[in-house]
Chains A and B, each alone.
Chain A
Amino acid sequence: MMMKKLTIYLSTLTILLTSCVTEYNVDLKDAKSGILVVEGIISSDSTEIQLSRSVALDQELSDDDAVNGAELFIEDSNGRLTGPFQQKGNGKYFVRTGTLDQNYKYRLRIILDNEEYESEFLNPIKTAAIDSITWSKEGKGKPVQIHVNTHDPTSQSNYYQWSYTEIWEFHAEIFANAGYENGKLVVYSDLPDSIYNNKYYCWITNKSKSILLGTTDLLTENIIRKKVIKEIDPTDKRLSTLYYIEITQNQIRKAAYDYFANIKKNIDESGSIFSPIPTEMQGNIKCVTNKDIQVIGYVDVSSGAKKELFIPFKGELYEYKPNTTCVESDKQWSGYLLSTYDPLLGNSYAPAQCIDCKILGGTKNKPWFWPNNHK
């Protein structure tokens, strides 16, 4: 006889597992600050090095952490020194380097507070040119991706590092035809190219905020195809008028790649369930006069390559979302600015952030190469 037993099993969760991530303040007994951080690549043409010091975890990074007053040189394996670097303030140092000679090795030397620091002697890597910068969008609501494409037929190195500078133009939601400048009413339409248009068009400059890395290590050819450098939300104002991106490419050696990948991993991948145990890697720069002094950074030697791209407004890229708070009113509420000057029908007013693009973080620093006549 066949006996059957059917067990019906039910389970309910009445409270959902929410808000499980909370802020946490660690009692940092041995917080450490003041470790010298050396950033930059010895490059053809010119080299820029940034010096700063680390801060305690609970402090904010600021310009005060920049290290000024150091003496920097590039030394080649022939004993020739280039430098000293020119101090540009904010911990930035700059030197003209000319073309790096493939037959020599180069290193960075720093003299700071009577201590000497040296990076490892390295052969220059000749970075391949960027073939193209492309963009794509998979569909409505999807982000716009900006990719870099490159290949290195000489296969100098399988490891790549990118950074970018982006500039975009945008404008305020509402064009005000007049406004009070220094307490005086100015009708902008009377002055079509006047600086008073400055409330409408703005530019923002931004730099890449994370280390972008790529490798062709496990590929049959040294080709980077459609490496995503930047993702832009389709409602982002970057896409609203004119967008510009300049990508700097460096081919780097494996040790540099591993070093950068590690510091990136330590912040990007920490805290999840299968997270690797964080580890600190030694970079290639050391204090030669006192080996107990720690230094952060890897100074590679590689000629860089640059390429830029403009993306003008396109209906298929930018998904304009009207700002519903930008409604004109016949009353001047607090925080409102004049938007329409009309002595016959009466003036209109609108919230300041709808009229003045500077409130939204823009500046009037229009790049000299900007290909339109917006002021």
Chain B
Amino acid sequence: MKRLLIGICFILPSIFLFALPQNKISIQLHQEKAALLFDLISKTTGYRIFTEKPAIDSTIISIDVKEISAYEALDLVFGKSEFSVVEYNKDFFIFTKGVISAYLPDFSQIDENLTDDADEYGFQDESSSVVNATSEYKLYEIGKPSEGVGKYKLTGKITQLKTGEPIPGVTVYVPLAQTGTATDKNGRYELVLAAGKYEMEIRGVGLRNTKRQFRLNASGEMNIEADEEQITLSEVTITSSARSNVRETTMGVERFKIKEIKNIPMAFGEMDILKVVMALPGVKSAGEVSNGFNVRGGSTDQNLILLNDGTIYNPTHLFGLFSAFNPDVVQDIELYMSNIPAQYGGRISSVLDVKSREGDRNKIHGSASLGLLTSRLSVEGPVGKKTTFLVGARSTYSDWLLRLIPEKSGFNDGKAGFYDMNGTVIHRFSENNKLSVNGYMSKDHYSFDPTEKFTYQNMNFSARWDHNSGKQLSYYLSAGYDDYRSNIRNTDNAASAYNLGSGVSQFFLKNDYRYIINDKQILNFGINTVIYNLNPGAYSPEGSGSIAQHKNLQRDLGVESALHISDQWEVTDKLSVNGGIRYSLFGLLGPRTYYRYDEQYLPSETTVTDTINGGSGVLKTYKGAEFRLSLRYAFKKDWSFKAGFNTMRQYIHKISNSTVMAPTDTWKLSDVNIKPQTGMQVAAGIYKNFVSNTVESSVEVYYKTMNNFLDYRNGAVLVMNGHIETDVLGTQGKAYGAEFILKKPAGRLNGWISYTYSRTFLRQSDSRTLSPVNDGDWYPADFDKPHDFKLVGNFKITHRYSLSYNCFYSTGRPITIPVSKYGYMNGEYVYYSDRNKYRIPDFFRIDASFNIEPSHHLTLLTHSTISLGVYNLTGKDNVYSVYFKSVNGVLKGYKLSIFGVPIPYISYNIKF
């Protein structure tokens, strides 16, 4: 049992994440033994490298890197094979994945010749003595004090202070002699040192760092008892390399690992990926309860949200209180807001790429959590030697929460719930061939009153084969099926009770290659295809008494294919460019009946000139090149300038007239009358790192345009509309802004502070519009919040205690409010004039939490984590919306706040 717990301690505490090395190295090796690499790294950086087996040292490797950290270099070579690289306190450990568990392997330092050579000196084996060194401050004499000058062998055993168990894998290092080793599985170490006075540093995973002072007079034994370190028990797998914001060519990209963000305080203490995304500069949302997000002025349907290559059409649960991604199964998240790599396409604003975790390769284990809002379960582990699995499920029972929300929000009479399930199976055929199979399914249901029930569901299946053939070429082939459907069942009136469904189905195929031309250039190229089959609306009677029609709008069928190629070229040490082109081709497929309209007028039912019954085959094609260019010029190692130019095309549109992503939204493909959306962004920025690269700062500016973005005509009817072109208007958009960020990704104090100034404007520019919104002038978009300040921070007071803190401020979003009121049919109605002319009051919120990590007394069977927090600490009643209601004949203005009071929470975790 004790060994088991030690093993848990060795599941790589999250502290590793915060101690990425700073020293950069440049290494060029071709078909050399790994030992040489270790040697080079040791010499340049002073890090020491321990390998599990000598076999690792003789592995033949090739590497050609410039200016990367030692960890990155090692990870590049070993991280993708069956080895794992772990950094700990200036030491690196390389071991077979799946071994680091209850028992640590027998580490041997690469510098094996030390002990081998020792014999040559011959030990001056005098009366060996045994010392039990317990204090850091006492000087221990080994052997009788003498004027010994030869080399002696020092051995000893390192044991747990509390239990007396030997600890394998502990590093002992003698700085003065620049020598060290690691303990074997019996906890024993052996060093050869010249006689003299030394200090020995003892470090081990899960141990408190300690040291011993000794004078070596003769060969002898020094046994050491080590105390455990009080840190979190958690599982972290480090796979992808650390990146530097200064070095990277691309700009406007944010990456997170799930562990980096777990301490950000969240409403009700529930961790949420999209909420973290929304805490980034450049990302905005209409309000607190909306997971549809707006990136640099783009609308909510202009974000490509990928989970394991599949597209998630509705990334939210429970009206946006939760995101669709179960944090237990997510590995990392990437958000591209500016330079979007050429391999991605189909949306004009951003790409959010979420990757799920690989199951544990060592043993089967699971985790479960029970909460007041959700409960989760996940199980993972190996199946045989080459296969792993990870399955997770989440469910909720949140009706009680809805009753607490104000009535006007339309929630509180309701019922709502969701579940989601994830599964990933990964099989490694060989070192170079990996097959991943992923599945995701989620379902939401809710109702505001018993006669109207809404459901929606996501379903995604994908298989991906990764191949790494030799050192130059690697590629993957990914194929899958995505399905999103929503449904409304209305039984308000038995005679007209109906069921209305809509959805998106798509097959996709991606085949992307990466070819390393030489040490300066990497070529990426590939082909993507998506075959769409959309159901814009299917209407059917509900119940036997209903005389509702069976009516199905014709399905939208289409194929979107794209070829892309991009070259990442390091022109000089300072200048690197990344140029890409993506050529996308969209074909609308028949059979399909459609209308032609008199071009002099906006399409409407009265301007139809022709009805065409298109047969099968391609009825309309749209095509175009998308350019993705970026460059970086590094003035110095720690500061650089970057610029980028991107164009994007989008062939699928969300049909909705609400500000946020509503669960009733439907999707529509471009067709004969609906043109694709296009977008362009130019951006530039300056990146500077401070304090040995531990603090990153940047300023980015951007200007963006959008065309053929769909806005809705006044009084548009969107439900079951078979000719949506008569209710929409092509709208132009422009956005610009400057984003300032100061970020400390690691350390005791970590987090970021950002300020954004940004504007987004829209214009109904079609001259055929008789009464365009705001007379055809530019007007601010619904999410135009010029000033936006965000602070996200975490401070570790000690290993056990930490404080987390968020502070958000932004200008209130624009709203349209009536300017006049009038009586009509004995009721009072309001008259609106210009859109988005007013703003709701500014938004401000502080969240804080105090986290107590578990103590790791081995005698304890359980470990508990407590998090005490307050969401909206100052209780500011941030206004979500303003509306007018007639009370006793007098129209009054009201404001709705969703979380208008401080919400304290305590979350208590027990692990055993």
| Chain A residues engaging chain B, CB cutoff 8 angstroms | 1-26, 28, 30-33, 35, 37, 39, 52-57, 60-61, 65, 163, 207-211, 216, 218-221, 223-228, 258-259, 261-264, 266-267, 270-282, 296-297
Contacts and interface: CB of A to CB of B under 8 A. Distances in A.
Q: Is the interface of A mostly helix, strand, loop or mixed?
A: loop
B829 A266 contact: yes
28 contacts: A4-B366, A9-B907, A9-B909, A10-B906, A11-B371, A15-B902, A17-B901, A19-B900, A20-B409, A20-B901, A22-B894, A22-B895, A23-B894, A24-B882, A32-B819, A56-B820, A61-B823, A163-B825, A210-B825, A218-B498, A223-B547, A225-B495, A225-B547, A259-B715, A266-B832, A267-B886, A275-B658, A282-B770
Interface of B: 4, 8, 102, 268-270, 287, 289-290, 319, 363-373, 375, 404-411, 493-496, 498, 539, 547-549, 551, 657-660, 662-664, 712-717, 720, 770-771, 773, 782, 816-833, 835, 837-838, 877, 879-886, 889-912
B831 A207 contact: no
A18 B270 CA distance: 21
A150 B663 CA distance: 34
Nearest to A66: B823
Nearest to A33: B820
Contacts of B899: 17, 20
Contact of B824 (A6, A17, A37): A37
A22 B881 CA distance: 11
B3 to A, nearest CB: 11
Given A3-B365, A21-B895, A273-B660, A26 B409 contact: no
Contact of A273 (B410, B498, B549, B904): B410
Nearest to B328: A7
A297 B102 CA distance: 79
A228 B404 CA distance: 29
A24 B364 contact: no
A32 B363 contact: no
Nearest to B838: A26
A267 B830 contact: yes
B367 A278 contact: no
B825 A208 contact: yes
Nearest to A12: B906
A32 B833 CA distance: 9
B652 to A, nearest CB: 21
Nearest to A224: B495
Given A21-B894, A271-B883, A5 B367 contact: yes
B715 A270 contact: no
A291 to B, nearest CB: 11
Given A23-B894, A32-B833, A276 B912 contact: no
B657 A276 contact: yes
Nearest to B662: A274
Contacts of A20: 405-406, 409, 877, 896-901
A33 B268 CA distance: 46
B370 A8 contact: yes
Nearest to B831: A54
Contacts of B494: 225-226
B47 to A, nearest CB: 32
Contacts of A28: 817, 819
Given A15-B901, A18-B901, A219 B910 contact: no
Contacts of B831: 32, 35, 54, 280, 296
B825 A32 contact: no
Given A2-B365, A276-B658, 16 more contacts: A5-B367, A13-B905, A17-B899, A19-B900, A21-B896, A21-B897, A35-B822, A54-B822, A54-B831, A55-B821, A208-B827, A273-B290, A273-B409, A273-B660, A279-B712, A279-B713
Q: Which 3 A-B pairs have the closest CB atoms?
A: A271-B883, A225-B495, A54-B822
Contact of B549 (A65, A218, A276, A281): A218
Nearest to B773: A279
Given A13-B903, A55-B822, A280-B831, A6 B911 contact: yes
Contacts of B369: 7-9
B886 A21 contact: no
Contact of B493 (A23, A24, A225, A297): A225
Contacts of A13: 268, 372, 404, 903-905
B905 A11 contact: yes
A267 B884 CA distance: 7
Most buried by B among A2, A11, A35: A11
A26 B817 contact: yes
Nearest to B899: A17
A98 to B, nearest CB: 24
Contacts of A273: 287, 289-290, 319, 409-411, 660, 880-881, 898
Nearest to B910: A8
B893 A219 contact: no
A330 B205 CA distance: 91
Contacts of B908: 8-10
Contacts of B884: 57, 267, 270-271
Given A228-B493, A273-B880, A7 B368 contact: yes
A290 to B, nearest CB: 16
A297 B819 CA distance: 16
A241 to B, nearest CB: 24
A6 B375 CA distance: 11
A274 B372 contact: no
Contacts of A52: 822-823
Nearest to A7: B369
Contact of A14 (B269, B270, B373, B904): B904
A275 B817 CA distance: 13
A277 B886 CA distance: 19
A11 B493 contact: no
B490 to A, nearest CB: 11
A1 B819 CA distance: 71
Contacts of B900: 17, 19-20
Contact of A11 (B717, B817, B907): B907
A152 to B, nearest CB: 13
A60 B889 contact: yes
Contacts of B372: 10-13
A61 B715 contact: no
A60 B411 CA distance: 31
Given A14-B904, A223-B495, A228-B493, A274 B830 contact: no
A262 B830 CA distance: 11
B660 A25 contact: no
A363 B729 CA distance: 53
Contacts of A278: 816, 818, 832
B328 to A, nearest CB: 10
Contacts of A6: 367-368, 910-912
Contact of B547 (A24, A53, A221): A221
A277 B657 contact: yes
A210 to B, nearest CB: 5
B549 A219 contact: yes
A340 B367 CA distance: 78
Nearest to B821: A57
A70 B749 CA distance: 75
Contacts of A296: 822, 824, 831
Contacts of B822: 35, 37, 52-55, 61, 65, 296
B363 A1 contact: yes
Contacts of B713: 279
Contacts of A10: 370-372, 906-908
Contacts of B498: 218
A13 B712 CA distance: 41
B572 to A, nearest CB: 51
Which among B8, B409, B823, B882 has the highest number of chain A CB atoms within 10 Å? B823
Contacts of B905: 11-13
A279 B834 CA distance: 9
A24 B714 contact: no
Contacts of B907: 9-11
A276 B717 CA distance: 11
Nearest to A219: B547
A263 B660 contact: no
